[in-house]
Amino acid sequence: MRLIFTPQEQAAVTPVTSTTIPTATPPPEATPTVPAIQPTRTPTLPPTQTPTPTSAPAFSIRPYDPERDADAESVISRVPDWGGTERPGNYQWEVAFPADTPALISMGWCAADERTLEANWSDMGYELMIDGFSIDLTQLAERDRVNEESVCRFYSGVLTGWSPGRHSYIWVHHIYETVSDGWDTFQAGDYVMEFIVDVVEGLVFEDDFSGTSDGWPEGEHENYSRWIEEGEYHILVKNAQRATWSPHRENRYSDFVFTAAARQVSDLPGEYGLVFRYQDDDHFYYFGISDDGYYEIGKRLEGAWVTIVDWTFSPAINQGQAENILGALCVGDEISVYVNDQALVTVSDDSLAEGHIGLMAITFDEPGVHVAFDWVVVEAFE
């Protein structure tokens, strides 16, 4: 078994100058891209999109030390529901990673007992490439870990110096003979795991709803339902002329870019969008779009709905049930909103200086508006 080791919101509602804003994209789920690769005892890394380096690497790597490197963050921990790979082949994931953060690079193997681990280890090998450079595994720490359930051995190192932009690292796990770790059997072959890493300045929070709720409210109510299913966060509004919002209360933000991908599941007139600088159910901003291509900006202040920008049509909005990427940039008193990389409008309002983010859905004259959010990203603005 290959493992990575790493140190409400409802109320009745009456529907009520440009800038360029950075965007972020969610990591896709891993999928095998080629058939099984035959193993070789003279390992050779597979071709990669990363160009062959012509100079010394801009990064540095050192063996992982649990005391010194307590602030290191595992790159692979950002892969949704990471569980390794189950059969030979090429696999690829894309993740966002915060700049100026030490990156923990780790890969290893666990077995049911020490004897099985030693037997497995003799029938396998690893290779590592980072940004096109082959990494000598002696630059990493090789450590064993034993607990009541398993015995594990792994390589781990800490990488520093990645500049903002796109990077790549590849682990190739060669299994020379079919092995059993005491629980499952793994075919001989090459398990090629490539991680495309977008190093982002100011990345604060991201969620692709692939696991547990992670702070997002879920549950049934007589007027609405909220749940996570198949990598999406769903809001269903059961009554007409109602708004349901879902704040994520774990962090507060002042100056930031908040981006989310969403689609309307139901084929009904309705609205969905972003909640930001949320203080409580009576104080927050919102940016919403409708199924027929209009957008609005408003706020809830002292429990009353206040329009900031009234309904305005934009051809940038994908109508009907098509997905849209919505964004809000908040810097001081200025609020800029955009859809699908197109800036819509910038306004000034000093009512709320900071707060939580959230998601919302609104019904008009018909009940049953159902919206699914695919991912959210928050980046600090400096």
- The verdict on 174 and 271 lying in the same domain is no
- The verdict on 193 and 256 lying in the same domain is no
- The verdict on 273 and 177 lying in the same domain is no
Whether residue 20 lies inside any domain: the answer is no
Whether residue 13 lies inside any domain: the answer is no
Among candidate residues 146, 180, 201, the one where a domain is terminated? 201
Q: What is the pLDDT of residues 67-85, one digit of tens each?
A: 899 888 888 877 765 666 7
Range of the domain at 75: 2-7+25-201
**Cα angle 90-95-99, degrees, rounded to a multiple of 5:** 135
User: How many angstroms separate the Cα of 235 from the Cα of each of 304, 320, 363, 374?
Assistant: 22, 17, 11, 12
Residue 224 CB-half CA count within 13 A: 27
**What global pTM score does this model have?**
0.57
Whether residue 111 lies inside any domain: the answer is yes
| pLDDT of 56 strictly over 50 | yes
Whether residue 18 lies inside any domain: the answer is no
Among candidate residues 166, 185, 201, the one where a domain is terminated? 201
Q: What is the pLDDT of residues 311-343, one digit of tens each?
A: 999 999 999 999 999 999 999 999 999 999 899
Task: Output the domain CATH number for residue 67.
Answer: 2.60.40.10
**How many CB atoms are closer than 10 A to CB 350?**
8
Whether residue 16 lies inside any domain: the answer is no
Task: Output the domain CATH number for residue 322.
Answer: 2.60.120.560
Percentage of the chain with pLDDT > 70? 84
- The verdict on 191 and 298 lying in the same domain is no
Whether residue 284 lies inside any domain: the answer is yes
Whether residue 12 lies inside any domain: the answer is no
- The verdict on 55 and 165 lying in the same domain is yes
Q: How many domains is the chain partitioned into structurally?
A: 2
Question: Which residues are within 8 A (CB) of 235 and not within 5 positions of it... i.e. 6 or more apart?
Answer: 224, 225, 226, 244, 246, 272, 359, 360, 361, 370, 371, 373
- The verdict on 196 and 233 lying in the same domain is no
